Amino acid sequence: MNGSRLLISKHTVATLRATGVTAIILFAFFASSGCAPRLSPDPFYLDANQNTLLAQANIHGNIQWRRVYWQPEVWIDNVRYEHAVGMHPPEKDIAYAEFNIPPGASYFQTVFGLARQDTYPTGYGNVAGRIFIDGSTFWEGTLSDPKALTTPRIPVPKGAKRLRLEVDPLGTNWSDHATWVNAHFGGEEK
């Protein structure tokens, strides 16, 4: 090893040290200044981001986006909803759909209701709905009339990967018009 190379090596080491220090400072700065991924879009509606669907099973008529399987318009308790995920359960089994949780999501919120059938507007069955995140139950509610249930903002644990929506027919699936409307992730609380 000659002097020149040793000098270059010293310079390189010094540069690397300086770069390393700079990197550590920058990392600390970004970590402390909210450079975590931002949810985009925010709000992040499930029906507007259908590629987040990972799996579905046992849904009578399959999952329905922005409609219900018996008609295109979604009405719950005399309110029309554009953002809708129809999940009519089957007879004697539980329907479910699973979704990727997008980066930057800090909460999930939805309205769970029995959507009207215009040709039979008095028909309402009964169902239970459940929301899971990474296998843990975060919310459960039951329906048996036109009145919908609005969930609270369900906090998404840091690093959580998978959202699961379940619908249980609670016996028969007659008029079990279970529909999740305005189902969305949100970013940081505003």
Of positions 176, 179, 180, 187, contacts Ca ion by CB under 5 A: 176
**Dist CA 34 CA 24 (whole Å):** 16
What is the C-alpha end-to-end distance of the chain, expressed in Å?
Answer: 61
User: Does 125 help bind Ca ion (rule: CB under 5 A)?
Assistant: yes
**Dist CA 180 CA 95 (whole Å):** 13
User: Does 126 help bind Ca ion (rule: CB under 5 A)?
Assistant: yes
User: Does 129 help bind Ca ion (rule: CB under 5 A)?
Assistant: no
User: Does 60 help bind Ca ion (rule: CB under 5 A)?
Assistant: no
**Interface map 68-107 toward Ca ion (x if CB under 5 A):** ----------------------------------------
- Of 53-61, 95-103, 139-147, 172-180, the segment contacting Ca ion by CB under 5 A is 172-180
Give the nearest distance from C-beta 95 to Ca ion in angstroms.
11
- For 5, other C-beta atoms within 10 Å of its C-beta total 9
User: Does 169 help bind Ca ion (rule: CB under 5 A)?
Assistant: yes
Give the nearest distance from C-beta 102 to Ca ion in angstroms.
32
Interface with Ca ion by CB under 5 A: which residues? 125-126, 169-170, 176
